[in-house]
Structure 1
């Protein structure tokens, strides 16, 4: 992911700009495609947040990047700030959002992919895996890592 997003600026919870190539180096990255206007997204986001917080306790190398399908910058920031975890997002209007949607064939949201640094998909449907197996975060993490390496 660090290679795929090299040169892209991410934002964190504090609103700071982060160079994605540097920030994501050495991390296992989940791309989270979602939007505030999407009811299924709003139902899944708290589950992802809990899962993320549990994994972060023992695996700080896990990072989520929110790829918004919101129609306005204010909606993206509000949704991120009020509902999401301590991860990062690609700012509204960045052309990389459309590239990622196309590259990963995201037709519906919410959707989540676990990606290698070069952009290869490790887990195609991480959303369903978190919903179905997320009650045991450590076990699911180990399953993902088995495919990651």
Structure 2
């Protein structure tokens, strides 16, 4: 997903840090479902939706709500009229959010690319950049954090938290589900060995 922002600057929502290197972008966005939130602080509908989106994001990523953060990233693409409006809005939002810098023409490119004609809009993307949902505002309002599961399945994310250490060291990925199959095989093999040992003991 970092490829979408290759050669671009993103602003981290913590003391206005810039996230610009490939490594930083990769750490922030790779292997995650990405939300592009198009909004404006002056838009009444956005003001009503933003607290809901904030709560939605925190319930999936904040350790005060979940034991392990979901593979979810968010980039704010604002239609704010001033940089002060954008900054003031971001100060009320989660620190893990990123933002396209104010005044960056890339915001217009994103609007055209994803056919965003009104705000609020939340475009949901796979790590590959493929669109899962063109505008998930109503889905988030209706289902809350529960809708993330369907996005995760659609994105075919590899949950690296479930891989064993040796899988990382020797991982030559044949497909996105290959490490999961390897882990299942390893567990099945262990179970078969235990059953065999139990059979020998009983005989």
What TM-score comes out, normalization by structure 1 length?
Answer: 0.90
**CA deviation map 1:58-99 (0-9, x unaligned):** 3342111000011211111111113x2221111101121010
Matched residue, 1:126: 136
Choose which of 151, 165, 168 in structure 2 pairs with 1:144: 151
Choose which of 56, 60, 71 in structure 2 pairs with 1:55: 60
The 1-side partners of 2:127 and 2:133 are apart by 13
Shift of 1:7: 1.8
Q: How many pairs were matched up?
A: 145
Matched residue, 1:13: 13
Greater RCO (Cα-Cα under 8 Å, separation 6 or more): 1
Report the 3-state secondary structure (helix = DSSP H, G, I; strand = E; otherwise coil) of the residue aligned with 2:5: coil
Shift of 1:110: 0.3
Matched residue, 1:3: 3
The 2-side partners of 1:79 and 1:46 are apart by 11
Matched residue, 1:94: 104
Q: More helix by proportion, 1 or 2?
A: 2
Shift of 1:116: 2.0
The 2-side partners of 1:92 and 1:121 are apart by 24
Contact kept, 8 Å, 2:127 with 2:155, in 1: the verdict is: no
Query: Whose Rg is larger?
Result: 2
Which consecutive unaligned segments of at least 5 residues does structure 1 have? none
Report the 3-state secondary structure (helix = DSSP H, G, I; strand = E; otherwise coil) of the residue aligned with 1:3: helix
The 2-side partners of 1:88 and 1:125 are apart by 19
